[in-house]
Structure 1
Amino acid sequence: MIPFVPPPTFEYGRPDAVSPLIRRVIADNPGPFTFTGTGTYIVGGAGPGAGVGVIDPGPLDERHLAALMAAVQGQTVSHILVTHTHRDHAPLARPFAEAVGAPVLAARLPARPTHASAAPDDDDDESFSPDVVLTGGERLAGDGWTIEALATPGHASNHMAFVLCEENALFSGDHIMGWSTTVVAPPDGDMTAYLASLDAVIARGFSTIWPTHGAPIVEPGPFLAAYRAHRLAREAQVLARLAAGDRRIADMIPALYAAVDSRLWPAASLSVWAHLIALERAGRVRATPEPAIDADWTLV
């Protein structure tokens, strides 16, 4: 079982100091895919005149913009970082950047769109355009803090996590979430890439993981081991459903996700599809006529 983390204690729009170098402001956009809402992180000192970086400004929401402006009043914003271009993370980046006079740094928009049946929050902000394109490995120096860009494709092909070097902490975006597993939605989402990125995060041995949605993961080792084991167990369950005679994803979902809120089943079907695509690449299953979401799937 994954040791999921209870929701944080917070008030919408209030900047909470959650570590010596991190403050968090949560947007009022709760939902089945955003949990309590989008958490925007402010990195750096909280005092007047401090230079700070801001991660995932969030959805296009005037109240959240006002809350962020109040949180950084009297400070200098040097970097605005975006983990990926889904609508609950990226749209406020440009208005906030124009208000504070800071550049936006992120990976490019993905070449392939998120699947049309994914949650609206997982649609891409197609108007998004970073001022500085990140590819992973860049180190950004701030006022008493250093951030490393860590490419973590899988949930989105352009997903970028950010390492706060001084606290050995990872801002994981949607790659790792403390309250839920992550949706991997083809054609942009890719399960093979997701698992490789997860292994890369595990290898780093972070002390704390700060997801964009939900509370921090303060014991990453056992949590990530369970997170990875869950994905491999789900893969085994998909193979078992095929062995039992299921041929379509729609036939598998009620059995695989019986304990999950049915509102999440459309997204769950995309993750199952991602597993099947990875298995098809590995030569373990076959899709007829092609590996589409409505294909017939059989064991090889």
Structure 2
Amino acid sequence: MGLMQPPFDPADLPTGVLMQVSPLVARVLAPNPSPFTYTGTQTYLVGTDAVAVIDPGPDDPAHLGALTAGIAGRPVVAILCTHTHRDHSPAARPLSELTGAPIVGCAPLTLEDDGPRADAAFDAHYMPDRIMADGERVSGPGWTLEAVATPGHTSNHLCFALIEEKALFSGDHVMGWSTSVISPPDGDMTAYMASMQRLLERDDAIYYPAHGDPVEQPQRLVRGMMGHRKQREGQILRFLERNGSGAIPDMVAEMYRGVDPRLHSAAGRSVLAHLIDLDARGLARPAGNGLWRTG
């Protein structure tokens, strides 16, 4: 889930079509475009003879039909989920029933979501057959996927590294089209920045995000995104220093000029995540009545 700023036409990209993007990786775009999901959720199929399915997406009959057609009768070794927002994991159970494959990957997580959009709520029905810890692997003929723990967007977020192609399925943690929304109480800016630093230190050659195009210079993008978050942090501190105190809606109005107003509530969640992180570091603190001031 991200904040989309540029316009897009979802009709420009076909849904339900299996598209080969590398020798081991193909993708199918789900029909769920929105200002938060960009052109929709991309489900990845990894492997040739027997496959893994990453982020099966929404429980949509057309999307499930497209995935079944793309699998084309091949054995499914595992169905993996990066996290449990409802645009990522609900199709796992019906796809498992169709293919007999186990559901593995992130841990289940349910809580009342007070975030910016209804379909970002957590999938309360997600029940994995195996939870993958950081560094654990699942493999099939010619491919190996390793779990990389990347909390921040959600506390249960995992990326999956495809060892044979030095590729990383980055879920919603890193997307080329947008920054990820960090929405407390589960979204955590401190954890997010630590996870970004971890990715920066890896040598992956390409990222395949759940939304948007492949990222072909991933370390450069991660470095830029970390810089963007530091700039946003600086904006917040300057706002508070200049005004003495301030409320989140006023910060959003100033810092997100030109962004679709429909996205301002989501922007406010990320500002709150920054403020919580700044509070933990002694740089800002709540001042009562929804106001914040410098620490």
TM-score interval (norm. to shorter): over 0.9
> Could you tell me which residue of structure 1 aligns to residue 81 of structure 2?
82
Alignment pair present for 1:142 and 2:140: yes
Amino acid at match of 1:272: V
Which runs of 5 or more residues in structure 2 are unaligned? none
The TM-score, its normalising length taken from structure 2, stands at 0.94
The TM-score, its normalising length taken from structure 1, stands at 0.92
Deviation of 1:275 after TM superposition, in Å, equals: 0.2
Whole-angstrom CA distance in 2 between matches of 1:92 and 1:139: 22
- Alignment partner for residue 191 of structure 2, among 193, 203, 206? 193
Which runs of 5 or more residues in structure 1 are unaligned? none
User: Are the counterparts in 2 of residues 105 and 134 from structure 1 also a CA contact under 8 Å?
Assistant: yes
Whole-angstrom CA distance in 1 between matches of 2:102 and 2:6: 33
Alignment pair present for 1:183 and 2:186: no
> Could you tell me which residue of structure 2 aligns to residue 271 of structure 1?
270
Deviation of 1:205 after TM superposition, in Å, equals: 1.9
> Could you tell me which residue of structure 2 aligns to residue 205 of structure 1?
203
Q: Which moved more, 1:241-250 or 1:228-237?
A: 241-250
Count how many residue pairs are aligned between Structure 1 and Structure 2. Answer: 288
- Alignment partner for residue 294 of structure 2, among 286, 295, 299? 299
> Could you tell me which residue of structure 1 aligns to residue 25 of structure 2?
22
User: Are the counterparts in 2 of residues 5 and 215 from structure 1 also a CA contact under 8 Å?
Assistant: no
Q: Provide the alpha-carbon RMSD of the alignment.
A: 1.8
- In structure 1, the residue corresponding to 2:201 is in which secondary structure? helix
User: Are the counterparts in 2 of residues 60 and 91 from structure 1 also a CA contact under 8 Å?
Assistant: yes
Query: CA offsets, 1:12-49, max 9 Å, x none?
Result: 1000000110000000100001000000000001xxxx
Whole-angstrom CA distance in 2 between matches of 1:6 and 1:298: 35
Compared with structure 1, are the counterparts of its residues 98 and 71 closer, same or farther at alpha carbon in structure 2 (3 Å cutoff)? same
Whole-angstrom CA distance in 2 between matches of 1:38 and 1:241: 36
Deviation of 1:117 after TM superposition, in Å, equals: 3.4
> Could you tell me which residue of structure 2 aligns to residue 31 of structure 1?
34
> Could you tell me which residue of structure 1 aligns to residue 120 of structure 2?
122
Whole-angstrom CA distance in 1 between matches of 2:105 and 2:221: 27
Whole-angstrom CA distance in 1 between matches of 2:92 and 2:286: 40
Compared with structure 1, are the counterparts of its residues 5 and 206 closer, same or farther at alpha carbon in structure 2 (3 Å cutoff)? farther
> Could you tell me which residue of structure 2 aligns to residue 280 of structure 1?
279
Whole-angstrom CA distance in 1 between matches of 2:77 and 2:37: 27
User: Are the counterparts in 1 of residues 207 and 218 from structure 2 also a CA contact under 8 Å?
Assistant: yes
